[in-house]
């Protein structure tokens, strides 16, 4: 395996296993490539490494607040290309996801989020997503914009609020051409598309079967020749060898095998050690 995988593996395994949540390839709690509305326990820290033909992705995710999850991401696009070439783009990005409504007996969890909040916009996208458990299934359905609104896109439903939502400015126009700049002018603008999927957790085995419909059409990768007519369907099988550690093999876009390793720990699960008062040393007389 490539040396960078083992570097990422070492980072992931530094974490002491804790309560497991489903990590997407983008680090946020989700399915495979798509986000879900799920959150982790407050204070959960997670590292994720993903190997894929399109990009090798390294994520650090932190549940900063009970309803707010943030991710720092480093991606190597076209990892088999020569470093520094246009095809072999290196990109840093940030993602934020917030829970809008918590689940009830009838209502699903509902969350809102944005990928690549700052920077070049290589992963630019926003989403509104709902997740609901049914028996051993966890079902997710979402609406995406940007890259997440590129497959079978339709007119933005937010256009009824304002015409400004109907057209999406380019990354340069929205202020995100360079790293560290916000592209806020493009948030939730342009065409929208539907994504979704489900995860099935086996009752007596540490296995989860995942299927999803992805709304990213990968226009950038198709134009560069990395992909050719990618399918919208992804399938994965995740295995938890230890609590809090997950290994997933995925069949992506109809023609690619991908691997994801994640591990997480709850930084609030371990209370501080009690201070023990030390007595003064005995006099040596």
- Residue 51: how many other CB atoms lie within 10 Å: 20
User: Which CATH number characterizes residue 240's domain?
Assistant: 2.40.160.40
Is pTM, for the whole model, over 0.95?
A: no
**Residue 221 in domain:** yes
pLDDT at 175 over 70: no
Q: What share of the chain is helix, strand, coil (3-state, %, to 5)?
A: 10, 40, 45
Number of structural domains the chain divides into? 1
Taking only the tens place, the pLDDT of each residue in 222-281 is 998 889 999 999 999 999 999 889 999 999 999 999 999 999 999 987 654 554 554 544
C-beta of residue 152 within 8 angstroms of C-beta of residue 214: no
Two structure tokens written together for 281: 């040393």
What's the rounded Cα separation, in Å, for the pair 86 and 210?
33
User: What number is the average pLDDT over the span 188-215?
Assistant: 96
Q: How far is CA 255 from CA 116, 229, 251, in A?
A: 26, 10, 7
Which DSSP string corresponds to 59-90? EEEEEEETTEEEEEEEEEESTTSPTTSSTT-E
**Residue 284 in domain:** no
pLDDT at 84 over 60: no
**Residue 273 in domain:** no
> What local confidence, expressed as pLDDT, does residue 1 receive?
45
Q: How far is CA 168 from CA 5, 115, 173, 266, in A?
A: 36, 15, 9, 38
> What local confidence, expressed as pLDDT, does residue 285 receive?
40
pLDDT at 20 over 50: no
Query: In the beta sheet, which residues pair with residue 51?
Result: 259
Q: Which domain holds residue 139?
A: 3-266
- pLDDT grade, residue 15 (50/70/90)? very low
Taking only the tens place, the pLDDT of each residue in 126-145 is 999 999 999 999 999 999 99
What's the rounded Cα separation, in Å, for the pair 256 and 234?
10
**Residue 280 in domain:** no
> What local confidence, expressed as pLDDT, does residue 196 receive?
97
174, 200, 177: which is closest to 186 by C-alpha?
174
Q: Note the residue count of the chain.
A: 285
**Residue 169 in domain:** yes
> What local confidence, expressed as pLDDT, does residue 270 receive?
61
φ, ψ at 199 (rounded to 5°): -125, 135
């Amino acid at each position: 395996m490539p040396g960078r995988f083992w570097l990422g593996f070492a980072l992931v395994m530094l974490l002491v296993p804790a309560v497991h949540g489903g990590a997407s390839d983008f680090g946020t709690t989700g399915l495979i490539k798509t986000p879900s509305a799920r959150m982790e326990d407050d204070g959960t820290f997670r590292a994720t490494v993903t190997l894929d033909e399109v990009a090798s992705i390294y994520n650090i995710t932190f549940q900063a607040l009970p309803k707010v999850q943030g991710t720092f991401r480093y991606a190597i696009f076209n990892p088999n290309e020569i470093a520094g070439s246009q095809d072999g783009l290196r990109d840093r990005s940030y993602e934020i996801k917030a829970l809008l409504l918590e689940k009830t007996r009838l209502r699903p969890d509902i969350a809102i989020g944005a990928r690549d909040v700052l920077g070049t916009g290589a992963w630019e996208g926003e989403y509104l997503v709902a997740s609901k458990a049914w028996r051993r299934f966890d079902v997710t359905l979402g609406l995406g914009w940007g890259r997440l609104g590129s497959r079978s896109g339709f007119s933005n439903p937010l256009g009824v609020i304002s015409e400004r939502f109907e057209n999406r400015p380019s990354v340069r126009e929205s202020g995100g051409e360079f790293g560290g700049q916000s592209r806020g002018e493009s948030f939730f603008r342009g065409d929208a598309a539907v994504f979704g999927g489900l995860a099935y957790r086996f009752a007596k085995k540490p296995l989860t079967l995942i299927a999803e419909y992805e709304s990213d059409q990968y226009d950038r990768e198709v134009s560069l020749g990395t992909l050719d007519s990618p399918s919208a369907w992804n399938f994965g099988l995740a295995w938890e060898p230890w609590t809090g550690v997950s290994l997933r093999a995925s069949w992506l876009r109809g023609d690619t095998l991908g691997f994801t390793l994640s591990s997480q720990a709850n930084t609030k699960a371990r209370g501080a050690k009690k201070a023990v008062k030390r007595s003064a040393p005995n006099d040596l007389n």
